[in-house]
Amino acid sequence: MNNLLARYHPIIDDPRAFDLVTSRSLDRFLWVNELRCEVDALRRMLVQSGFEVHRLPWHAPALRLTGAAEGLGRHWAYRAGLFQVQEASSMIPVLVLNPQPGERILDLCAAPGNKTAQMAMALKNRGTVVSNDIVGQRQRATRMILDRLGLLNVSLTCLDGVNYPRRAGVFDAVLVDAPCTCEGTSRRHPERCWREDPPYRQKAAKQKLLLRQAIRRCAQGGRIVYSTCTYAPEENEAVIDAVMKEWPDAVRLLPTHLPHLHSAPGLTRWQDARFHRDLVNSMRIWPHHNDTGGFFVALMEKTAATSPHSARTPRLGHAAPSAVSSDGWRRLDAADPVLVEIRRRFGLPVDAFTGLLVMRRNRREIWATTPDHRPPVVTKPSMGLPFIRVGNRYPKLTTAAAMLIGRSATRNRLDLRPDQLEAYLARRHFSLADDQNKLKSGGYALVRYQGHPLGIGCWHAASGRVESLYPKNVAVDTGHLIL
């Protein structure tokens, strides 16, 4: 077996420092959901829970946790959607793309969804992010992240990015975080640097196809970021060089720079190969420069149409479906009986659903997105958040909806104590203390901890106990729950 990282010593400024850092384990990183919590407030919570927490100088909402920082996914604040765990170097492509409110963004190879969530947050939970991955099973992870963080402005598709359809419309910016050999993740997965004959060239063939399609789907004047978590020039500079030679007038490389982040320029030569001179504008993230993982990031501008086919791609001109859409979605107004019942049950204000586009997807499912969302015109996109389940008797808020609107509830809400929190997250029944039981009647109750909504429970007045309705697929082993 070969140590693949040694092949990069000739292009690294300090090979010894590189080898030393890549032999050490990686710190944990996260970014704060500023829609729900301030950075300093979360930092105090984590410090009180025993974590050693530091600000990340080049990304204001991000934190580095040093020392023994395992178990972030078992922290109650993670379950409340106050933060997202993501490796620091993996945050860089979205920061370079720099999504702006009002833009329409495509994440072409999205799963497991961290960068999709970053982009949706950058748009301030408005507008449009289209999150695509060819493997539907992998998009389940994306769906779980979006639901937990309360991100309404995302449509999910499961299509081949190489042939992403023209009818999806054009985009102001496209991210191609391409599947790769993942050598930059070796601090978490050391086995990835000890392989015979890594498939650099096979990966590169697919990467070129993905980048070409990203450029086609991008509007003229728009931005494309190509990124990988590998060091291999065959999958990085060589891919961009090949596409730029095909379309020399259609795209140009822009400088990449983030204040306080140490990066190295891209290569213009590797072994016997020579690359476009502007590849120095791209960014190589070596682990020893910022004590992170490794990444490659290039930013391009689409300067001209790539072909008549792409030039005629229509820009979607309206928001999400109107009253009745051709794909079966039906918009609900504030007077709809289901929405009135939800407001009554939880004492929500009259304007509780203002700023939301609430739609019935079918007989049992109601979803919500933003009024300015422009979904792709493709078959069966998953648009926005699952919001209400309509049963035979009473409508039930989903966990995602409860976390989104639960702060404004004034009735049938339940504030948990630590032992009850553990029971709720483990899907166990629990009792209430006399001074806690302010529920007006049996049935659904909004469950909160320290003022932050966590989901829905069911108060059984006859037995005096609360049934946890926390989702089965995310229930926590509370023997290790971090409070």
HEC readout, 347-395: CCCCCCCCCCEEEECCCCEEEEECCCCCCCCCCCCEECEEEEEECCCCE
What is the pLDDT, as a whole number, of residue 307?
63
Q: Is pLDDT at 313 greater than 70 in this prediction?
A: no
What is the pLDDT, as a whole number, of residue 292?
97
Domain that holds residue 334: 330-405
Q: What is the DSSP letter of 133?
A: -
What is the pLDDT, as a whole number, of residue 479?
66
The string of pLDDT tens digits covering residues 331-363 is 999 889 999 999 999 999 999 998 999 999 888
* pLDDT, average across residues 77-82: 96
Q: Are residues 117 and 249 in the same domain?
A: yes
The string of pLDDT tens digits covering residues 30-42 is 999 999 999 999 9
Lowest mean pLDDT among 80-94, 139-153, 215-229, 385-399: 385-399
Instruction: Please provide the average confidence, as pLDDT, over all residues in the chain.
Output: 90
Following DSSP, what letter does each residue of 209-255 receive, concatenated? HHHHHHHHHEEEEEEEEEEES---GGGTHHHHHHHHHHSTTTEEEE-
What is the pLDDT, as a whole number, of residue 319?
42
Residue where a domain stops, chosen among 405, 440, 459: 405
CATH number, domain with residue 225: 3.40.50.150
> b/e per residue, 330-343, with b = 16+ CB within 10 A?
ebbeeebebbeebb
The string of pLDDT tens digits covering residues 236-265 is 999 999 999 999 999 999 999 999 999 999
CATH number, domain with residue 428: 3.10.450.720
* 444 lies in some domain: yes
CA gap 42, 77 in Å, rounded: 8
What is the pLDDT, as a whole number, of residue 162?
95
Q: Are 182 and 227 in contact (CB under 8 A)?
A: no
Among 324, 320, 344, smallest CA distance to 334 is for 344
> pLDDT over 70 for what percent of the chain?
93
* 105 lies in some domain: yes
Q: Is pLDDT at 133 greater than 70 in this prediction?
A: yes
Positive or negative, the CA dihedral 82, 87, 89, 92 is negative
Q: Are residues 342 and 271 in the same domain?
A: no
Positive or negative, the CA dihedral 417, 418, 421, 426 is negative
Q: Are residues 424 and 278 in the same domain?
A: no
CA gap 276, 268 in Å, rounded: 6
Q: Are residues 399 and 419 in the same domain?
A: no
Residue where a domain stops, chosen among 405, 430, 446: 405
37 is known as an active-site residue? no
Structure tokens of 66?
Answer: 């040093």
Structure tokens of 348?
Answer: 């929500």
What is the pLDDT, as a whole number, of residue 2?
53
* pLDDT, average across residues 410-438: 90
What is the pLDDT, as a whole number, of residue 152?
96
What is the pLDDT, as a whole number, of residue 70?
79
pTM, whole model, 2 decimals?
Answer: 0.93
* pLDDT, average across residues 363-368: 92
The string of pLDDT tens digits covering residues 5-22 is 999 999 999 999 999 999
The amino acid at 11: I
Q: Are residues 269 and 166 in the same domain?
A: yes
* 55 lies in some domain: no
Q: Is pLDDT at 444 greater than 50 in this prediction?
A: yes
Q: Are residues 335 and 456 in the same domain?
A: no
Q: Are 84 and 149 in contact (CB under 8 A)?
A: yes
CA gap 393, 426 in Å, rounded: 26
* 316 lies in some domain: no
CA gap 271, 387 in Å, rounded: 55
Following DSSP, what letter does each residue of 300-335 receive, concatenated? EEE-S-S-HHHHTPPPP-S-S--SB-TTS-EE--TT
What is the pLDDT, as a whole number, of residue 327?
57
Distances (CA, A) of 111 to 175, 356, 482: 12, 26, 27
Q: Are residues 343 and 434 in the same domain?
A: no
Residue with tokens 């991955």: 133
Q: Are residues 401 and 439 in the same domain?
A: no
Catalytic residue among 158, 180, 193, 229: 229
Q: pLDDT band at residue 329, thresholds of 50, 70 and 90?
A: confident
Residue where a domain stops, chosen among 405, 430, 457: 405
Q: Are residues 400 and 420 in the same domain?
A: no
CA gap 50, 414 in Å, rounded: 27
Q: Is pLDDT at 383 greater than 60 in this prediction?
A: yes
* Chain centroid offset of residue 170 CA: 21
Lowest mean pLDDT among 142-146, 390-394, 416-420: 390-394
Q: Are residues 183 and 97 in the same domain?
A: yes
* 207 lies in some domain: yes
Q: Are residues 194 and 277 in the same domain?
A: yes
Q: CB-side exposure of 169: number of CA atoms within 13 Å?
A: 20
Q: Are residues 140 and 286 in the same domain?
A: yes
Domain tally for the chain? Answer: 3
Q: pLDDT band at residue 469, thresholds of 50, 70 and 90?
A: very high
What is the pLDDT, as a whole number, of residue 104?
97
* 397 lies in some domain: yes
What is the pLDDT, as a whole number, of residue 315?
39
* 45 lies in some domain: no
* 340 lies in some domain: yes
